[in-house]
Amino acid sequence: MKLQIKPIKTKQDYEAALRAVEPMFDEVPLADTPEGDFFEVMCVLINDYENKHFPIENPDPVDAIKFRMKQLGLTVKDLEPAIGKSNRVYEVLNRKRSLTLPMIRKLNSMFGIPLRSLVGS
């Protein structure tokens, strides 16, 4: 099999790159082999193209908090140590009050909400 590495500049290049590596996902080639090097480089190129052309936006901070609340079964009371009294938690959840840096740090450390999600775009 001829392994040709080339930049991914167009949608057609992208689709061809996907077709080239797709069969390799069933049995990933060994590292430090021509096939392994091809697979690794093509995956990097594909990832770069996808990041440029199909970016994934960070979630809204309030949506991230609500999502984690649902995941962990948290209540407003559970958020009080991170945000403040219940009225302040409701203000944040209803978008009437912005998150402060200390709130962001506590939400991250206490509930594992990614900082990128809490800071927003």
The count of other CB atoms within 10 Å of the CB of residue 16 is 13
- With vertex at residue 88, the alpha carbon angle to CA 84 and CA 90, rounded to the nearest 5 degrees, is 125
**Looking at residue 58, what is its pLDDT?**
79
Helix (H) / strand (E) containing 36: helix 34-53
Specify the 3-state DSSP secondary structure of 54: coil
CATH for 61-119, options being 1.10.1660, 1.10.260, 1.10.10, 1.20.80? 1.10.260
Query: What is the band of 1 on the pLDDT scale with cuts at 50, 70, 90?
Result: low
Q: Give the residue among 64, 72, 70 at the shortest CA–CA distance from 116.
A: 64
Residue percentage of the chain with pLDDT more than 70: 98
With 60 as the cut, is the pLDDT of residue 22 above it? yes
Instruction: For the chain, give every domain's residue range.
Output: 11-53, 61-119
Q: What is the pLDDT of residues 42-70, one digit of tens each?
A: 999 999 999 999 988 878 999 999 999 99
**Looking at residue 108, what is its pLDDT?**
96
**Looking at residue 103, what is its pLDDT?**
96
